[in-house]
Chains A and B, each alone.
Chain A
Amino acid sequence: DIQMTQSPSSLSASVGDRVTISCRASQSVSTYLNWYQQKPGKAPKLLIYGASSLQSGVPSRFTGSGSGTDFTLAISSLQPEDFATYYCQQSSIPPPTFGGGTKVEI
């Protein structure tokens, strides 16, 4: 299985901050990389697919970049509703695998 490693595992930030989260794959996944946001007690929500395509309805302050093995999710100006846990997921080589998550805290 392809291993997905996220860093950091948690971070503290303030409203208005620019935040970046990294995801590294154990082998190339091309651009078959998705990002999800999960709030406590809720199902994950798809933010970014294909490494950089914004899912419909997701604010433009979320951007994804990268290809191959290294990817980044950036939040340009953190909003109160963005405090959550973020997961990356590769869909290049079965089985699809998730990263361990990054918790964004105040």
Chain B
Amino acid sequence: QITLKESGPTLVKPTQTLTLTCTFSGFSLSTSGVGVGWIRQPPGKALEWLALIYWDADKRYSPSLKSRLTITKDTSKNQVVLTMTNMDPVDTATYYCAHTPSIAIRLDYWGQGNLVTVSS
């Protein structure tokens, strides 16, 4: 079965760079159409899509955050990594990674989430 799990820090300081890793199993990120995306959710607020990488290494970013985000994949390790630079307290959120089986993004499997707090 498909599983995803986020890992990374729970606390970062303002201006620091956040690096999150999504480790998955049950599918290959070299299969046509498949993608892994990142979504975040500030406490008590709605979901916000951040970035996604497809099987062919095509990358998509949220326009409002594009300058701060980088998404990469390591197919051999079954991992997708998201980096976000210049962290601010407003970036405090639970960060999720999720699987989509098609280019028309539908997020059918999600990780458990990684709560990241930005504070000095």
Report, as a range, how many residues of chain B touch the other chain.
Answer: 20 to 34
Bound CA–CA A98/B107 (angstroms): 12
Q: Are A95 and B63 in contact (CB under 8 A)?
A: yes
Cα–Cα, bound, A46→B98 (Å): 11
Can you name the residue of chain B whose Cβ is closest to the Cβ of A100?
B46
Size of the A side of the interface (Cβ < 8 Å), in residues, is: 24
By DSSP majority rule, is chain B's interface helix, strand, loop, or mixed? loop
- Name the CB-closest residue of B to A87: B47
Q: Report B-chain residues with C-beta under 8 Å of the C-beta of A91.
A: 104-106
Docked-complex contact B107 and A34, CB < 8 angstroms: yes
A contacts with B: majority SS: loop
Which chain A residues in 50-102 approach chain B with CB under 8 Å?
50, 55, 87, 89, 91-92, 94-101
Most buried by B among A36, A43, A55, A92: A43
Whether A34 contacts B106 by the Cβ 8 Å rule is yes
Q: In the assembled complex, which residues on chain B have CB atoms less than 8 Å from the CB atom of A97?
A: 49
- B110 — which chain A residues lie within 8 A by C-beta? 43-45
A-B contact pairs, 6 of them (CB 8 A): A32-B104, A43-B110, A49-B108, A91-B106, A98-B47, A101-B46
Further contacts, 8 of them, CB under 8 A, given A87-B46, A91-B104:
A32-B104, A43-B110, A45-B110, A46-B106, A50-B104, A98-B47, A99-B46, A100-B46
